[in-house]
Structure 1
């Protein structure tokens, strides 16, 4: 994904400096134990300072929004699609701290960018962006939007970017894990000078599987139908090869992905039914 792909045809608008209010949500009791099984997060992520990476992500996010605003492609606060996205996020956020204790400190933010590109992401620290192309071209339901948002939030909550950066930078710098644990700052410096890497990271198959399952549970707890995860990825598969589907360059669809989601839908259906009651 590159900023140059922005399409200014959708909106004439001002910067949407919107931050979700989560103080009340943080006062809620923690939910029951996770229903999906994704194991422990990678210990390698600890080699990169979380705060440093989140600050780098904030900077890149601000740059992305500034460019979108300059191209008149940033949705205003009263845009109907953006209002819907933010409402969905407000329902998901109360359940994020179960997956990452830092999530309660994040300044969650959601923005919408006018582009035919099929894409969405959540950066470390809770900065979310959707492109109008993913909403319009896939004709997403609210439940399907929640699955995408939950999936992207899960990447941030499981700190996949942090782990991926630790692995790639440590290898390229020729550093040993032992050296990093002794306090050498090379990985921290690398995290602070990422350029556009956070917008084009290639996650592993296990990262994608984790994000699918954690996102599925987040959305179910928030009252969104888990079956939508299956219909979503079927739609994703249909747009493969149709052009502009940047989402699929980092989130490939396939039968095994759908089968794994189908196996896990029953695990979270009770959470969804409880939320609906």
Structure 2
């Protein structure tokens, strides 16, 4: 068994957050399980000596500060932060209202930033820790009907890739997790919102693709319990991965993206490498 750690998990009231809370407890860790509705969190994760359930809306700065303070008061530290809470605004970009776009970014990007900002002083003081942010393969590969969601997850990944340089001197590790389709709660009505606007030009495409997305709910191939167990393993490693692509479907999409990037690089390599100042002009500067 790995060293006992104190985990701080957002979005622990449903989906992967539930499985991750249970897996961390089963592995002997201490867990702060957070969610907007603490009664719901308690109902789904149960009770345990090493468990603290705390109210947390990640878009509320006051909630975040209070939850982190409660975690430190209870366990004296935070070792692993899991930015898991998220939602999904599905639909074509033009049909998603500006307010929906704002809410998507606020939850999936600004929320994890706010939580991490509050936890980082605890990790820096300890000169150790691990920040895990749950992204998506949609944070690496753009997909139809995912304009808002991918924007939030691409942003999350860019922030995390850069954050690692900030925190590495303090012994803090970072990991981006890119799951494929797992049977979590993301496509359930509580997590998925559909466009508030309607544009005739998109009607035909909507009639085809929305039912496909709705049919995915409950039929995803990935097992979130296995994903949670794997994350416990990754968090126990001395050098955890900077990025972990989770699921065979996610690997296939990532490999296709890598191949396409290489093809695009090669197609314009000569043009791209011809853009520097020439020596004569450099000598005149």
Bin of the TM-score, shorter chain as denominator length? under 0.3
TM-score normalised to the size of structure 2? 0.27
Larger radius of gyration: 2
Greater helix share, structure number: 1
TM-score normalised to the size of structure 1? 0.27
**Higher relative contact order, chain-length normalized (CA < 8 Å, sep 6+):** 1
